[in-house]
Chain A
Amino acid sequence: MTRIATLQGDELEGGIALLGGPYSNHRALRAGLEDARRRGAARIFCLGDLGGFGPNPGAIYPLLAARDVTTIAGNYDRSLAERLHDCGCGYTHPDDNHYARLSYAYTDRHTTDEQRAWLGTLPDGVRFERGGRRYLLCHGSPRRTNEFLWESACSDAFLLRLARDAEADTIVCTHTGLHWQRLLPGGVRVINVGSIGRPANDGRPNVWYAWLAPGSEEAAFIPVDYDHEAMAAEMEAERLPAPFVETIRGGWWTTCLEILPARERARGRF
């Protein structure tokens, strides 16, 4: 990763909301931002992948602007900014790539030049100090925007190496869509904030974000209910693939499953 923004400010000691990929789910993002406001968030971060999966990607941008959300570029955002032909999600299986192509083509068609230019200004990561700890926020991993950090597929040794190389005490990431955190020997913490735009493959339609309460370095994962039925109807109106709509309604992932490690796959239905 090349462009890392370093932040300073007293508000970083306050409550911090960390939101993963919105994937064009503007209704869920709105509900998540509202929840963070109610908790008194001093600062809100979005860890990238604004588009993909959901309908009408343009609806995401004003929500981020209105709440002064500090946003990091995900692979989707980088691809759109650079007008690449592929989302760069990092899938390796043809079945995963099939659906990834459909959602990227839709998002690409509905992204304006102005939006692409703004995506091109986003940093790859954000650093700050909070409570004496060095935080690094990124999309996939500190070293690769599209690297998947799955809970059951990352050894302690590997995460410690990433943290050491990144000179961080806390790594915050998304990209997988599943939230988890681990406190490692020596006090390093890794927080995957999950996704604000897609349910967590648990049969429940709500989405999740991570909350760092004032004075706490341990994340609380916050479930967010929203009008998923209205989102499903909007996706149908936009003729997005039926399996995507099924995920919004039922909370189980139906596509891009082959990348999942055994344990995470076993927890789902498909």
Chain B
Amino acid sequence: MRSSIPLAQAPAVPALALDTVWFQVAGTLCNLRCRHCFIACGPTNRAHDYMDRESVRGHLREAESLGVRDVYFTGGEPFLHRDLVGILDDALRIAPTSVLTNATLLTPALVRELAALRDASRYSLEMRVSLDGITPEQNDPIRGPGTFDDTLRGAQHLSDGGFLPIITVTQTWDDADDRRLREGFHALLRARGIERPRVKILPLFKIGREASRTRGYAPEELLTPAHMDGYDPWLLQCSTSRMVTSRGVYVCPILINVPSARMAETLGASLRPFPLAHGACHTCWATGATCRN
């Protein structure tokens, strides 16, 4: 089944500004192997590798010169990276910073280090914690045995450290259950002592490991120029953000395994239009989804 169309036939989104820069700081390396992972991360996937601190610093300097508003770190699992705290220190000197984690590697001592960084910066340090169900029975088949408890323990450490973690959930259920499940997450988090639960729900991207868990994109789930008639390109994150990995600058966090989504070596050179030729582009278009907080 096709998951992309010829680039020349796809509508292009302009690069309006560089507001947000993502770093695939831990590459595609993760201590988990979630069954819906759109970039198929795992303990041995080195498709994208760790980024060293000096390399991140170089990109941060360029981002700052381009007027970046905020910075995000993801993986893989960012806390597998031994220099992550130092890298976050570098980032928080320049811009508001978010980290996307599964929280399973967080300890009270590590959270104290993060809290010290947070308190030393005038910018927000956001912690996003991925969880995919309100029970182990719902979460663990997707994210792995024991991950429900391990992740909630990490989220509690964050809460104890004065963070208000944003629990980030991939929508693996029907829209009809949306409100009930969001309320379920709130109740779960409150029961675990997280008094002010914040929950963000992301759509499923039917690529990577998810394509084999359920299905890939259908031919009709591709964008044509007509889809962009009257559509505000601002609503697509690819108009205002870029993703940096060990292999270069990509258009967005979702498409780092798509060779044509690699834009350039540098952020400055990556700010050019991008053809929305992929099934995942249809998901962003249809849901208004953004990977930002």
Contact = CB atoms under 8 A, between A and B. Distances in A.
Interface of A: 92-95, 144, 150-155, 157-158, 160-162, 164, 258, 261-266, 270
B95 interface: yes
Nearest to B96: A153
Nearest to B201: A94
B164 A155 contact: no
A263 B70 CA distance: 14
B124 A153 contact: yes
Contacts of B290: 92
A255 B118 CA distance: 25
22 contacts: A92-B290, A93-B200, A94-B179, A95-B182, A152-B96, A152-B123, A155-B64, A155-B68, A155-B70, A155-B96, A157-B63, A157-B64, A157-B69, A158-B70, A160-B67, A161-B67, A261-B96, A262-B118, A262-B125, A262-B127, A262-B164, A270-B196
Given A158-B19, A262-B164, A153 B125 contact: no
Contacts of B149: none
Contact of A154 (B96, B182, B293): B96
Interface of B: 17, 19, 63-70, 94-96, 118, 122-127, 162-164, 178-179, 182, 196, 198, 200, 234, 288, 290, 293
Contact of B178 (A94, A150, A160): A94
B122 A154 contact: no
A181 to B, nearest CB: 13
Contacts of B164: 262, 265-266
A75 to B, nearest CB: 13
* Highest count of chain B CB atoms <10 Å: which of A150, A262, A263: A262
A189 to B, nearest CB: 16
A262 B196 contact: no
Grouping DSSP codes into helix (H, G, I), strand (E, B) and loop, the A interface class, with mixed when no group exceeds half, is: helix
B70 A153 contact: yes
B162 to A, nearest CB: 7
A266 B19 contact: no
Contacts of A161: 17, 66-67
A96 B179 CA distance: 13
A162 B240 CA distance: 14
A269 to B, nearest CB: 9
Nearest to B182: A94
A266 B68 contact: no
B124 A263 contact: yes
Contacts of B94: 155, 157
A157 B68 contact: yes
Given A261-B126, A261-B293, 18 more contacts: A92-B288, A92-B290, A93-B200, A94-B182, A95-B182, A153-B70, A154-B69, A155-B64, A155-B96, A157-B68, A157-B69, A158-B67, A158-B69, A161-B67, A258-B198, A262-B118, A263-B123, A263-B124
B23 to A, nearest CB: 15
A155 B95 contact: yes
Contacts of A164: 67
B95 A262 contact: no
B124 A157 contact: no
Contacts of A270: 196
Contacts of A144: 234
A147 B49 CA distance: 35
A92 to B, nearest CB: 7
Q: Max chain A CB contacts within 10 Å: which of B182, B196, B234?
A: B196
B21 to A, nearest CB: 11
Contacts of A150: 124
A270 B196 CA distance: 6
A258 B167 CA distance: 12
Contacts of B293: 261
Contacts of B66: 157, 161
Contacts of B96: 152-155, 261
B178 A155 contact: no
B178 A157 contact: no
Given A152-B123, A270-B196, A157 B95 contact: yes
A159 to B, nearest CB: 9
Given A157-B64, A157-B68, A158-B67, A266 B122 contact: no
B1 to A, nearest CB: 31
A261 B67 contact: no
Contacts of A92: 288, 290
Contacts of A162: 67
B47 to A, nearest CB: 30
B144 to A, nearest CB: 28
A94 to B, nearest CB: 7
B163 A262 contact: yes
A153 B123 contact: yes
Contact of A157 (B67, B122, B200): B67
A151 B234 CA distance: 22
Closest 7 CB pairs of A and B: A161-B67, A158-B69, A155-B95, A152-B124, A261-B124, A262-B124, A263-B124
Nearest to A151: B122
